[in-house]
Amino acid sequence: MSEAVVAQHSTRTRSSRGQSFVEFALILPLLLVLLLGIADFGRVFNAGIVVESATRNAAEAAAQEYLQLRRSGTLPSSTELSRIADQASAAVCEEAERLPDRLMSGSTCLLPYTAVCIHDAPAELANYGTGCGDGASGAPAECTDLHAPWPSLWSAGMLPSVEVRVCYRFATLLNLSGLELPFGNGLDLGTIWLQRDRVFAVADY
């Protein structure tokens, strides 16, 4: 084999390797986004299940506690109602221990954000005062459910009930907020706000 043929073959090999390296470098970011996106989908799905369970269990626990007060035959005081709301918030925080971004300040749970309302007769709502929605005071605007007005479930003919609203900030592994893609497309992958609202009736017969 002549030296010219050998040199030409060597040049083609280097060119092929260089082309493969460039193609890999172009595809690698897309592969990383795809893999991290799949991982984030599983993480956010799991977080949604935890938030759902925490909201439901907190509403049930608060309803059971409220039922004990109703059976005493006296209207609960605002202090007792606030205590029930605090217990519901504590139940949410305990369930949320499995969430990666739960925030604590001492024994106080800062994230998830929780708001509690006890729907009952007007006299009991008067005792509760502005307690409905107090948990939303520190929540950001993204927690739209926590800032929404509380419906009057008692006037709608329902049983006395406890309503718990929870808002949780989920941070994805990869933050691609406002990324511009070809052909005018965009990609926004970053903070996701998970919100749940559950009502548990107080079955006082």
Angle at 200 between CA 53 and CA 171, to 5 degrees: 30
Q: How far is the C-alpha of 13 from the C-alpha of 19, rounded, in Å?
A: 10
Strands (E), 160-190: 161-171, 179-180, 186-187
Which pairing describes strands 103-105 and 191-201: parallel, antiparallel, or unpaired?
A: unpaired
User: 169 is written with which tokens?
Assistant: 């900030």
**Sign of the dihedral through C-alpha 26, 28, 33, 35:** positive
**Residue 25 confidence class, pLDDT cut points 50, 70, 90:** confident
Reading phi first (left if > 0) and then psi (alpha if -120 to 50, else beta), residue 171 is in beta
DSSP string, 43-95: HHHHHHHHHHHHHHHHHHHHHHHHHHHHTTTSPPPHHHHHHHHHHHHHHHHHH
The per-residue pLDDT for range 42-90, each reduced to its tens digit, is 888 899 999 999 999 999 999 998 888 878 776 777 788 888 888 898 9
Tell me the mean pLDDT in the region 105-122: 81
Confidence of residue 123 (pLDDT cuts 50, 70, 90): very low
Does 139 have pLDDT greater than 50?
yes
Range 161-168 average pLDDT: 90
CA 72/CA 111 separation, integer angstroms: 34
pLDDT attached to residue 52: 94
Q: Which region among 20-34, 128-142, 152-166 has the lowest average model confidence (pLDDT)?
A: 128-142
What is the model's pTM?
A: 0.74
Average pLDDT of every residue of the chain: 76
